[in-house]
Structure 1
Amino acid sequence: MAIRQKAVATLPTLMRALRKPPPSLPQRLPSLRRAFSLYDQVNLIDNVPEDQLRFQGYTDTGFTVNGVEYEGSLLAVGNLLLSWSPKKMSDITAESLSIFQTVRPIPEILIIGTGRYIQPVDPEVRKFIRSAGMKIEAIDSRNASSTYNILNEEGRIVAAALLPYGVSS
């Protein structure tokens, strides 16, 4: 009976502890070793050259690429990484993506990381990307960075325009 009373007395403390949000730590991109989704895979090919961009993690405010933490939105084209000005989906315009009028070779696909949730891409932006000769895919930023890794490791010409994961509108 005493064990039961002790367990019942401990229950409220346990419930409070379970309700607390976990501490905000940088989140690592999932690995195929733990999941079977193609989008969750990070390292598809072993022995990737050191100079090749590889997204290794994300936070609500930025990304970790090749061991370096970057704050804010990023634009990755092949193995070139640039800081990118849009802070939310409505900031993504043809002008913010104008680099694709001059970059050669033209990437076959532009992956747009829309933040925490998948959001629709403005029809004018879609039209601009198609006129540049690229396909476009808009997915949440976690999966967008993983997809970029996979396609880049395969040797495909790919670009990614990524908003931080914490962006939700």
Structure 2
Amino acid sequence: MPPLRELDQAERRIERYGAGGFRISGMSHEGGVLVTSGRVAPWSVAALDALDAAAMAPLIARRDDYEFVLIGCGAQFGLLPKAAKQALRDAGIRFDVMDTGAACRTYNVLVAEGRRVAAALLPVP
């Protein structure tokens, strides 16, 4: 996993990603994860094309915990499937889609700035 060199004062910092998992605030997590400043939860989605309304349900359930969500779609940028995008829009959730590495780095910076942001991250092999 490549280390991330971002601001150390982030409340819940994503330290590494790759090899199918993440290291967040000193703890290892395998597979996809949902990250907010107060919680890290497994996300049982392994690929961008598997994202649908049901996959967005955990994000929607916690929408009061963040202003917007960064969606890390794996090793390369891809388009969010229509059903997933519509589920987020219907719930009034603002989002941005990028590759997982960019989402991790952006999350760290925004949290360090005091922003209320979430990250839904697909693993990178």
Structures share fold, TM-score greater than 0.5: yes
Residue ranges of structure 1 left out of the alignment (5+ in a row): 1-25, 32-41
1:125, 1:99 → 2: CA distance?
12
TM-score (norm 1): 0.68
SS at match of 2:19: coil
Partners of 1:76 and 1:53 in 2: how far apart?
8
Structure 1 residues 100 and 162, CA gap change in structure 2 (3 angstroms): closer
Counterpart CA distance in 1 for 2:36 and 2:59 is: 9
- Matched residues in 1 for 2:114 and 2:91: separation? 20
The aligned counterpart of 1:101 is 60
1:159 to 114, 118, 122: 118
SS in 2 for 1:96: helix
Equivalent residue runs for 1:13-162 within 5 Å: 26-29=1-4, 31=5, 42-43=6-7, 48=9, 52-105=11-64, 107-162=66-121
- Larger RCO (CA within 8 A; separation ≥ 6): 2
More strand, by proportion: 2
Shift in Å, 1:156: 1.4
CA distance in 2, matches of 1:141, 1:86: 13
Q: Deviations over 1:93-135 (max 9, x none)?
A: 1111212333252522111111110011012211211222221
Are the aligned partners of 2:31 and 2:42 in contact in 1 as well (CA < 8 Å)?
A: yes
TM-score by length of 2: 0.89
Tell me, in whole angstroms, the C-alpha distance in 1 between the residues paired with 2:111 and 2:18. Answer: 22
User: Alpha carbons of 1:106 and 1:131: their partners in 2 closer, same or farther (altered >3 Å)?
Assistant: farther
Measure the CA separation in 1 of the matches of 2:15 and 2:97: 20
Gaps of 5+ in 2: none
